[in-house]
Amino acid sequence: MAEKKKKPYEIGELDQYLFGQGNHYEIYEKLGAHLVQNGKQKGVYFAVWAPHAQAVSVVGEFNEWDTEANPMKREEPLGIYTCFIPGVKKNQMYKYCIETYSGEQIFKADPYANYAELRPGTASRVTDIENIKWTDTEWMTRRKTWNHKHEPMSIYEVHIGSWMRHPGREDEGFYTYREFARAITKYIKEMGYTHVELMGIAEHPFDGSWGYQVTGYYAPTSRYGSPEDFAWMINYLHRNKIGIILDWVPAHFPKDAHGLADFDGTPTYEYADPRLGEHPDWGTKVFDFGKNEVRNFLISNALFWVEKFHIDGLRVDAVASMLYLDYGRKDGEWVANKYGENKNLEAIDFFRHLNSVVLGRNPGALMIAEESTAWPQVTGDVEEGGLGFSLKWNMGWMHDFTEYMKLDPYFRKDNHHLMTFAMSYAYSENYILVLSHDEVVHLKCSMLNKMPGLGFDKYANLKAGYAFMMGHAGKKLLFMGQEFAQLREWSEERELDWFLLAEPEHQQMKMWVKDLLHLYKRHKAMYEMDQSWEGFEWINADDGYRSIYSFMRHSKGAKKNLLFVCNFTPMARDDYRVGVPRKKQYKLILNSDEEKYGGTGADRKKIYKAEKKECDGRPYSFAYKLPPYGVAVFEF
């Protein structure tokens, strides 16, 4: 007998075939809960993948949470359960009651839900994201031709719940998505960042996980409002020419009873073998990248954020933990691949598929890897054996930079290489230099309190460090609060210490970072050739005795170039001579000794003429009075 003709919203044979192959890129339009018109009846069509369930029913506010009121029909061959329930309305809560093969009843949130009950509640909510009004056409059109390789990217990493809060309220005082949009836009425009990267957007039960243990991959967290509010925020940022990157967590998921773990009473989304399917370090489950339906869940989720919610890029968390089978595991706790190696071949294949599809369908979008090892070609082309990411966090640079900056200046001369080593591999990948949330938690201290010395020395050290970071090759990322020298470590439980801006030192730091960011955006030499040796040139990388670094940044055609000089000791160099390539005029455009940055405010010339006097292996040079921890940037 021929199959009864399916309605457009129902799961059909083609849907099942594509999902079973791992290639149904809009599977979120079929699975989950969707408001539909069924003949003359309005209601919701529910569909959930639970291959080893004995039976599934929908329970919710609309049926008094009765497990027998709305049984679902099993669709073969994949074990997708479906049903239409008339009269169900937007915002009503629901769960799936799954009867396992052992006869136990378990209650699960919808893996494909677009909205969830506010924690500590764990139910999903019916919603409708099909009729969101988008007003960012100009941005989305321009994105198609935008190329990160030749454009400025300075990213402000933010956790919405602790960036700023309403004081004195009985609830937690969170800003809503809409309130945050207005406030962060004003701040980002003032400071000069190009992008905001948001932590903890996908729904998660525990605030202390910062959003890295996800239970609702398709739902913007309800902590700050509805999906419509979330979309309003994106529209607002895009209309103000600010890009949005989301943290995305395909590496692992928590064991919470309502989440993905043992979804149908068996390991459904995770590897069945605990040596593959459990993260001993994190107490979480690992996705089974060998299952087509699981890979499909994740790939269509990445596309969902980029295409459905206009997100400009995904920063993929914990990539190394996915690539290595022995990551965080002792001998005997992991299983080698078929070649006897520690590479997860299924995860490698997943990344290549993921990046090819997301970037192939969405020119101008970004896939960013947080990958902490020397894995080759993370940003290399898939066709040439690479993983296909757009950019990679430079964790090696971050580690060397923070180790150097923590040193007493007396010992820096013996560790001079820590600041130059990253340039030896700077073009092996497309890098972002990062000082992220990970560097200012778990007793690692805030950026300011990593610095040696007291008072002036601490602030001056950090200013020199930030200038070096801005001048170095690679895109930039700074975690919130570090731009005004937050004293305490970050905590998700409170807002940033904005009260510090009443103190001159913190105002001066904020002004310094702001001027660095605007300098970065204004000068093509700072970003235009970030992927090429032609964009960066050392003047003197070996002045270890004085702990001074000098280098040039070049623009295409060398129309406007910049010269950086950074002093990492408290010693003034009253006649510091720097070698230069041409007998030109060098204009001082940034000087850390200005009063507004906490310097002495001493009068200085703006123009320096190079003379024919050999220095640093260059035929010409000029002298400049370099103050303690002084930074000078010249244009020529």
- Enzyme catalytic residues: 317, 370
**Do strands 105-108 and 124-125 pair parallel, antiparallel, or not at all (unpaired)?**
unpaired
**Which of 580, 636, 630 has its CA nearest to residue 610?**
580
Cβ neighbour number for residue 632 with a 10 Å cutoff: 26
For residue 6, give the DSSP letter.
P
The torsion angle over the Cα atoms of residues 398, 401, 407 and 408, rounded to 10 degrees, is: -140
> Both ends of the chain: CA-CA distance in Å?
80
**Type of residue found at 192:** G
Is 609 within 8 Å of 596 (Cβ atoms)? no
Cβ neighbour number for residue 546 with a 10 Å cutoff: 17
Tell me the CB-side half-sphere exposure of residue 301, using CA atoms within 13 A. 26
Burial class of residue 542 in the structure, from the number of CB atoms within 10 Å of its CB (0-12 exposed, 13-18 middle, 19+ buried): exposed
Give SS3 for 532.
Answer: coil
Round to whole Å and give the CA distance between 123 and 137. 34
Tell me the CB-side half-sphere exposure of residue 373, using CA atoms within 13 A. 11
Residues ≥6 apart with Cβ < 8 Å to 401? 418, 419, 422, 433, 435, 465, 468, 469
**Which of 557, 560, 538, 559 has its CA nearest to residue 549?**
538
Angle, alpha carbons 402-407-412 (nearest 5°): 105
Which tokens sit at 103?
Answer: 């006869």
**Complete edge-to-edge strand list for the sheet that includes strand 73-75:** 32-38, 41-49, 80-86, 73-75
Long-range contacts of 369-378 (CB under 8 A, 24+ apart): 369/316, 369/319, 369/393, 370/315, 370/316, 370/317, 370/318, 370/319, 370/395, 371/319, 371/320, 371/323, 371/395, 372/320, 373/320, 373/323, 373/324, 375/320, 375/323, 376/428, 377/429, 378/319, 378/429
**Which of 58, 63, 82, 78 has its CA nearest to residue 7?**
82
Which tokens sit at 390?
Answer: 């757009």
Burial class of residue 224 in the structure, from the number of CB atoms within 10 Å of its CB (0-12 exposed, 13-18 middle, 19+ buried): buried
Is 235 within 8 Å of 250 (Cβ atoms)? no
